[in-house]
């Protein structure tokens, strides 16, 4: 067993540092394991719950889908619109140095569908719902509602996490496609003003350069993000133990780790698929 | 299950939180239809024992038989079936805050039975009548008083007509009238439904009123598990101090005391 | 649980026996509601009930309320102690018309 933190303080500072690093990495490893187990269990209930007499109810999935998906539409749309415009402004500014403003459509449509739409959607859902999931489950944990579920014979993962995961997996790709469209619209609007490029022409060119794979690339990412946001939110909620303050810490952690998880996963996914 | 078998049979239960031993060699039985009160000072391990009886933790060793089934060995499906026969009212109520009182009470029925919606509604209202909360089903838990939360939690615990009922601290934090009513209710439930009821409490008066048998815990060990009369007559010093509400005057070891105060400094 | 439906003019009689629990009470409920649908006054006989849980009682409650709405008579006959305890718990023993036996109810008509 590793020495306790209090014991560490008395040891040589270097040794204490090493011990702490060891303890931290062990804890991180355990946390990754916990997330994996949570994911496996959530999928298990989604697929086999009916057979085990504990079905995941469609009504619950629907309710969560409204909460995490439909209600996120305004904010995601607004952010996407601004991003599309921003890309157009930057794109035209940069390409003008080469006298190649005409290529801006290619730049916008590729970066929106492959990168920005899934990323913006993921980050905003992590901010909105990752924290909400952690707060809800964390509050239920400290008020013994999770225990109450278990003694009633309701598996908490099946009841709380599985419908959320399903809702996220359904709505995040849909939100991403919406974000694609709105961001492109934002870009088109700016180009129409700055380059006098008619909107129709902008979209014609967009669909010329885009192949299905580009959109799919973005949508696939959003599926991964959906899993990340749900798991990190739920895991942090379930691990709350220290009262209201613990819930606060868990929500912050869920958002920060969720966003970092999304960006790291994005990098890895892009690296693996775009070479 | 043979009707002569005890409804609850705990043998040599040992449990740890981390490396700290909390319960040590706990054994006791309760028959069907019996009210068993678990008593003991603060920190003696009552809640921990209850959580193990509910199958919320895995003990280090020992076995816990509920209605003839050892829950430390049971697979998930069998445990799921057993849970339909168990009702639990937690100390803080643990009502689901996102649901109305009525939805809270209906939840076990909706999850476990295929009964008609009307039947479910009537059943849950009947249980709210039993706990004197008629007409409160549309309120949210946050709108209830402490005593009402306890009673709503009890209604949810008994909505499936369980054979085992667990009740943590029914009277803690309630005024004497309400807690007397709850005691009365526990007795009525046992008489009407022949439930086996485990009550954790440190209210002496209430314990003596409702208990058939009392299990006294002290620092994770059982001091006594016997009838009310026997516990009352006991001359064990720890039990007497619990009953007579005298402060504990333990012998002090000066060296050990100094060690505790100065540990890790020198 | 066993259900038998008999005619004892002017009443229809539903005889329940055995365990009326979460599994069997839906059948009892259906039988009671079906009899009431035929617009006949109803007696439910409970002398051979060995166990009744609150889903059984809820079915009786629903039957009684339905009968009231239709203006039909509804009563319980020879309630076994196992069922009586549960009725008493919800104070329904003071609500249902309860007859000790058929003899107690029939001659009056
Ligand atoms: N989650 C936990 N993690 C670690 N130790 C715990 C935990 N819960 C309880 N303990 C320890 O277990 C021991 C018994 O606690 P328990 O809550 O069972 O006491 P209790 O008899 O219910 O006391 P009270 O009457 O004050 O509620 C205490 O020493 C406590 O510190
Ligand atoms: Mg306690």
Confidence at B132, pLDDT banded by 50, 70, 90: confident
How confident is the model over A63-67, as a mean pLDDT? 94
Dist. CA B238–CA B248, nearest whole Å? 8
pLDDT of residue B91: 86
Half-sphere exposure of B58 (CA within 13 A, CB side): 6
Residue of minimum CA distance from atom 5 in ligand 1: B17
pLDDT of residue B4: 66
Residue A127 has pLDDT above 50, yes or no: yes
* Architecture of the CATH domain C2-105: 2-Layer Sandwich (3.30)
Nearest-CA residue of chain C relative to B161? C53
Residue B47, ligand 1, Cβ within 6 A: yes
pLDDT of residue A17: 85
How confident is the model over A246-266, as a mean pLDDT? 94
What residues 43-102 of chain C have any CB closer than 8 A to a CB of chain B? 53-55, 57-59, 61-62, 85-86, 88-92
- The closest of B250, B183, B241 to B216, measured between CA atoms, is B241
Instruction: Chain B: list its partners (3+ Cβ pairs within 8 Å).
Output: A, C
Select the more confidently predicted residue: B2 or A258.
Answer: A258
B12 CB within 8 Å of a chain C CB:
no
The three-state secondary structure class of B248 is: coil
Q: Could you say which DSSP state residue C21 is in?
A: -
% of residues, chain A, pLDDT over 90? 59
Dist. CA C43–CA C77, nearest whole Å? 7
Dist. CA A242–CA A249, nearest whole Å? 10
pLDDT of residue A1: 47
How confident is the model over C14-27, as a mean pLDDT? 90
- The shortest C-alpha distance from A84 to chain B (Å) reads 39
pLDDT of residue B92: 86
pLDDT of residue A3: 52
% of residues, chain A, pLDDT over 70? 96
Q: Which residues of B touch A7 (CB under 8 A)?
A: 264
- The shortest C-alpha distance from B8 to chain A (Å) reads 16
Q: Do the beta carbons of residue A218 and residue A118 sit within 8 Å?
A: yes
- The shortest C-alpha distance from A164 to chain B (Å) reads 16
Residue of minimum CA distance from atom 8 in ligand 1: B48
- Both tokens of B166, joined, read 């667990």
Confidence at B236, pLDDT banded by 50, 70, 90: confident
How confident is the model over B245-256, as a mean pLDDT? 75
pLDDT of residue C109: 47
CB contact under 8 A, A143 and B88: no
Residue A243 has pLDDT above 90, yes or no: no
Q: Do the beta carbons of residue A138 and residue A251 sit within 8 Å?
A: yes
- The shortest C-alpha distance from B54 to chain A (Å) reads 7
Residue A274 has pLDDT above 80, yes or no: no
- Both tokens of B178, joined, read 């309400």
Confidence at B2, pLDDT banded by 50, 70, 90: low
CB contact under 8 A, B113 and C55: yes
- Strand C74-77: give its sheet, edge to edge: C2-8, C11-20, C42-52, C74-77, C98-99
Instruction: Chain A: list its partners (3+ Cβ pairs within 8 Å).
Output: B
% of residues, chain C, pLDDT over 70? 96
Which ligand has the shortest distance to the CA of B57?
A: 1
Q: Which residues of A touch B57 (CB under 8 A)?
A: none
Mean pLDDT across chain B, nearest whole number? 89
Residue given tokens 């939100």 in the structure block:
A175
pLDDT in tens, B172-225: 777 888 888 889 889 988 988 889 999 998 888 888 999 999 999 988 999 889
Residue A51 has pLDDT above 80, yes or no: yes
Residue boundaries of the structural domains of chain C: 2-105
pLDDT in tens, B12-30: 999 999 889 999 999 999 9
Dist. CA B36–CA B200, nearest whole Å? 9
B119 CB within 8 Å of a chain C CB:
yes
pLDDT in tens, A183-198: 999 999 999 988 888 8
% of residues, chain B, pLDDT over 70? 96
Residue A5 has pLDDT above 80, yes or no: no
CB contact under 8 A, B114 and C88: no
Residue given tokens 């040794």 in the structure block:
A15
pLDDT in tens, B100-129: 999 999 999 999 988 999 999 999 999 999
pLDDT in tens, C44-72: 999 989 989 899 999 999 999 999 999 88
- The interface predicted TM-score (ipTM) is 0.88
Mean pLDDT across chain C, nearest whole number? 87
Residue given tokens 């009930």 in the structure block:
C49
Q: Could you say which DSSP state residue A127 is in?
A: I
Dist. CA A147–CA B157, nearest whole Å? 13
Q: Could you say which DSSP state residue B7 is in?
A: S
Least confident of A12-21, A58-67, A82-91, B101-110: A12-21
How confident is the model over C98-102, as a mean pLDDT? 84
CB contact under 8 A, B159 and C54: yes
Residue A268 has pLDDT above 50, yes or no: yes
Q: Which residues of B touch A151 (CB under 8 A)?
A: 54-56, 83, 86, 88
Mean pLDDT across chain A, nearest whole number? 89
Residue B15, ligand 1, Cβ within 6 A: no
């Amino acid at each position: 067993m590793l020495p306790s933190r209090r014991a560490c303080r008395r040891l040589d500072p270097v040794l204490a540092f090493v011990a702490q690093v060891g303890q931290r990495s062990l804890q991180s490893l355990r946390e990754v394991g916990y997330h994996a187990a949570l994911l496996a269990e959530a999928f298990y209930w989604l697929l086999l719950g009916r057979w085990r007499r504990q079905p995941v109810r469609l009504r619950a999935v629907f309710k969560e889908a409204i909460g995490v998906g439909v209600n996120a539409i305004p904010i995601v749309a607004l952010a996407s619109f601004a991003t599309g415009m921003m890309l157009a402004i930057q794109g035209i500014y940069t390409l003008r140095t080469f006298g190649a403003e005409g290529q801006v459509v290619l730049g916008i449509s590729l970066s929106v569908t492959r990168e920005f739409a899934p990323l913006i959607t993921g980050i905003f859902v992590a901010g909105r719902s990752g924290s909400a999931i952690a707060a809800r489950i964390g509050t239920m944990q400290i008020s013994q509602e999770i225990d109450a579920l278990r003694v009633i014979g309701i598996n908490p993962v099946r009841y709380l996490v599985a419908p959320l995961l399903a809702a996220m997996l359904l709505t995040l790709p849909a939100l991403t496609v919406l974000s694609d469209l709105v961001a492109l619209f934002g870009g088109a609007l700016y180009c129409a003003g700055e380059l006098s490029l008619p909107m129709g022409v902008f979209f014609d060119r967009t669909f010329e350069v885009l192949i299905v794979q580009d959109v799919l690339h973005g949508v696939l990412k959003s599926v991964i993000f959906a899993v990340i946001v749900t798991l990190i939110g739920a895991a942090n909620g379930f691990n709350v133990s220290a009262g209201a303050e613990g819930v606060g810490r868990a929500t912050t952690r869920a958002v920060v780790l969720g966003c970092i998880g999304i960006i790291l996963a994005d990098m890895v996914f892009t690296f693996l698929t775009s070479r | 299950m043979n009707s002569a078998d005890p409804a609850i049979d705990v043998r040599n239960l040992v449990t740890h939180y981390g490396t700290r031993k909390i319960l040590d060699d706990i054994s006791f039985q309760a028959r069907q239809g019996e009210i068993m009160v678990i008593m003991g000072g603060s920190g003696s391990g009552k809640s921990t024992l209850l959580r193990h009886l509910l199958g919320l933790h895995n003990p280090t060793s020992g076995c816990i038989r509920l209605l003839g089934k050892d829950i430390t060995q049971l697979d998930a499906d069998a445990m799921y079936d057993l849970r339909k026969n168990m009702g639990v009212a937690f100390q803080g109520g643990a009502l689901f805050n996102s649901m109305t009182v009525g939805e809270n009470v209906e939840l076990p029925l909706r999850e476990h039975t295929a009964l008609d919606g009307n039947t479910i509604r009537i059943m849950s209202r009947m249980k709210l009548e039993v706990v004197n909360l008629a007409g409160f089903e549309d309120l949210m838990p946050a709108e209830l008083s402490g005593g009402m939360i306890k009673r709503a939690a009890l209604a949810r615990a008994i909505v499936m007509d369980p054979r085992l009922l667990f009740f943590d601290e029914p009277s803690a934090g309630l005024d004497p009238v309400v807690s007397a009513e709850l005691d009365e209710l526990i007795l009525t439930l046992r008489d009407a439904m022949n439930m086996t009821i485990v009550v954790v409490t440190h209210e002496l008066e209430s314990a003596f009123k409702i208990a058939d048998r009392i299990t006294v815990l002290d620092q994770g060990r059982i001091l006594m598990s016997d009838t009310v009369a026997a516990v009352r007559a006991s001359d064990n010093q720890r039990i007497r101090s619990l009953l007579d509400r005298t402060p504990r005057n333990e012998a002090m070891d000066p060296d050990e005391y100094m060690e505790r105060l100065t540990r890790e400094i020198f | 649980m066993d259900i038998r439906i008999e005619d004892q003019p002017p009443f229809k009689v539903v005889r329940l026996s055995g365990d009326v629990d979460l599994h069997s009470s839906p059948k009892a409920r259906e039988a009671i509601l079906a009899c009431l649908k035929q617009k006949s006054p109803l007696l439910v006989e409970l002398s051979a009930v060995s166990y009744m849980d609150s889903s059984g009682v809820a079915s009786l409650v629903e039957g009684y309320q339905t009968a009231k709405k239709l203006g039909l008579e509804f009563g319980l006959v020879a309630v076994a102690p196992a069922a009586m305890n549960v009725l008493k718990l919800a104070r329904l023993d003071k609500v249902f018309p309860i007859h000790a036996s058929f003899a107690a109810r029939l001659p009056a008509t």
